[in-house]
């Protein structure tokens, strides 16, 4: 048995009931269950449809996300989340670079690295080098003035935790940011890279080993083993090429507003919903959300 989930942008709430019913009928589905009126609905089907991705492409034009997944074990016991452009709207290193006057150059490197065009570790070392001599106090200013949270993050973390799940934030960014973000959103732990500081200034160096693609996979393995969970019980979410390892290993790996090269390697793609979409995928109704 499979579950089909249809959802759209929470701010618009334009999911057409006739569209949901038409697809249900075409795929021989069961009763429609509305998770949020005009926003998210689901129904069961006996087998995965052959034309899923053709339908997905058509629905994207209507600002509707479509996910088909096995019905069994879809409510997860662990959330493993990327931070930059996932739990927050920005890339922290780009915001620091803007303060250093090299914002455009660094943002270009970041975009290419996240799309898988550059080696992540080498790109990180190059970008951090351009931050040399920035005052350490800039980090707090960036956090206060430039960083905003992705809609639905608090609801995602705390609804899952209210149902017994564990939440870990794992970032190729920096601990100076993940500490604040994890505390604000309710994550149980966070892992990231450490910017080296001397005499109140950034040295342009990052502590080794660098947390990149493989380290995110290792976090998945280590935390599940520690909690005596299986990898199938994990919901992972990210947007960049360095997230592909953990997205591929997790029971459900979600490409959230992801780079094209990342989306094409993931079966679960959210382009229109916010982070609450990850709750709908698990069968939670909007009335269940912890807000």
Q: Which listed residue (65, 84, 94, 243) is catalytic? A: 84
Active-site annotation holds for 31: no
Q: In this structure, what token pair is assigned to residue 116?
A: 């898988």
Active-site annotation holds for 84: yes
Strand partners, 53: none
The interaxial angle of helices 103-114 and 92-100, nearest 10 deg, is 160
Q: Which listed residue (38, 50, 58, 82) is catalytic? A: 82
Q: In this structure, what token pair is assigned to residue 222?
A: 């280590």
Query: Could you give the count of Cα atoms lying within 13 Å of 7 in the half-sphere of its Cβ?
Result: 31
The interaxial angle of helices 137-145 and 92-100, nearest 10 deg, is 120
Q: Which residues are catalytic?
A: 82, 84
């Amino acid at each position: 048995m499979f579950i089909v989930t249809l959802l759209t942008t929470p701010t618009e709430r334009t999911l057409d009931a006739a569209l949901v019913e038409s697809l249900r009928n075409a795929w021989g589905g069961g009763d429609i269950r509305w998770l949020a009126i005009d926003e998210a609905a689901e129904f069961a089907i006996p087998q995965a449809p052959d034309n899923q991705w053709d339908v997905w492409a058509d629905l994207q034009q209507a600002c509707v996300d479509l996910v088909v997944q096995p019905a069994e074990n879809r409510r997860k016991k662990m959330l493993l989340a990327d931070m930059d452009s996932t739990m927050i709207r920005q890339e922290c290193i780009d915001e620091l670079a803007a303060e250093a006057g090299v914002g455009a150059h660094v943002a270009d490197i970041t975009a290419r690295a996240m799309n898988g065009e550059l080696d992540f570790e080498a790109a990180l070392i190059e970008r951090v080098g351009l931050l040399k001599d920035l005052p350490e106090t800039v980090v707090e200013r960036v956090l206060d003035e430039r960083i905003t949270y992705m809609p639905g993050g608090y609801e995602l973390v705390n609804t899952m935790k209210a149902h017994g799940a564990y939440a870990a934030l794992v970032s190729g960014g920096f601990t100076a940011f993940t500490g604040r973000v994890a505390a604000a959103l309710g994550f149980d732990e966070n892992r990231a890279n450490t910017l080296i500081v001397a005499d109140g200034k950034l040295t342009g160096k990052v502590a080794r080993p660098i947390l990149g693609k493989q380290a995110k996979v290792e976090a998945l393995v280590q935390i599940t083993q520690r909690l005596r969970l299986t990898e199938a019980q994990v919901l992972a979410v990210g947007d960049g090429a360095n997230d592909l390892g953990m997205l591929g290993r997790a029971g459900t790996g979600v490409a959230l507003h992801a780079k094209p090269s990342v989306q094409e390697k993931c079966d679960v793609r959210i382009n229109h919903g916010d982070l609450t979409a990850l709750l709908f995928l698990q069968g939670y109704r909007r009335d269940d959300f912890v807000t």
